[in-house]
Amino acid sequence: MSLTIKAQKQFLREKIWRLLEEKKVASFPRPVYGRIPNFTGAETAAQRLLGLKVWENAEVVKSNPDSPQAHVREHALREGKTIIMATPRLLNGFLIVKPSNIESSRLRQAATIKGAFKYGRKVSLREIPPIDLVITGCVAVDLRGKRLGKGGGYSELEYAILRELHVLNENTPILTTIHDLQIVEEVPFEPHDYTVDYIATPTRLIRIDAERVRPRGIYWELLGNKENLDVIKELKSIINK
């Protein structure tokens, strides 16, 4: 009997989490099981993004809140970019972090989840500015750009909310930083999933040449209990869903 796509995804997650731990490249917070895994070389991977034109031209960056991308968020703040950060499980919607309001010695802290709550502020959906670039965390990625998250579906929902708000579109670049061991032959893919445009690892920068695949918005029939999130209720009030 063949595995369902969801079962295939979970099998792949478990494989990657186990591999990172066994190869001793997993970093705090540990164990990495159940997380977007932090990894040795995450700062080097982040630096590989800095020379990209899409990075240089970006003024507003949407980012996931996970640990491995903290270096990317710090670089963004140090370059004067505004960050729109999703809160964990979208329980508090989105935060906006503006470096102009933060002392330079506090920028590293501001790039963390705890620091973003301290130095940023919760932003209503109507206040979110147009987004130039998306940073996402992954458990695994293949060379066609298909990504695998930790299984909660929140990254896809964050993207879909922002599409519904028209603050980004199918051409908005999506970047990720991962360890080389997180690159796999193929990631199972579902209609609500999206692809990335660039993969940065500790050893290389990969530009994806395959066709972009991006959902146009929320698949309302797939929301389940997430429909009870305050941010979803707020979105419905805006789009009159």
Give a yes or no: residue 141 inside a domain.
yes
Q: Give this prediction's pTM.
A: 0.95
Give a yes or no: residue 15 inside a domain.
no
Give a yes or no: residue 108 inside a domain.
yes
Q: What CATH code is carried by the domain that includes residue 216? A: 3.40.50.10420
Give a yes or no: residue 168 inside a domain.
yes
Give a yes or no: residue 10 inside a domain.
no
Q: What is the pLDDT of residue 101?
A: 83
**Long-range pairs for 73-78: beta carbons < 8 A, 24 or more residues apart:** 73/97, 73/111, 73/116, 73/135, 74/107, 74/108, 74/110, 74/111, 75/46, 75/47, 75/49, 75/50, 76/111, 76/135, 77/102, 77/107, 77/110, 77/111, 78/104, 78/107
Give a yes or no: residue 29 inside a domain.
no
What are the per-10-residue average pLDDT scores of the chain (241 residues)?
A: 86 98 96 97 98 98 97 98 96 97 95 97 97 98 98 95 97 98 96 96 97 93 93 94 60
* Total structural domains within the chain: 1
Q: What is the pLDDT of residue 240?
A: 79
Domain of residue 156, residue span: 40-239
Tokens coding 12: 């792949």
Give a yes or no: residue 13 inside a domain.
no
Give a yes or no: residue 92 inside a domain.
yes
CB 97 within 8 A of CB 119: yes
Tokens coding 53: 């034109």
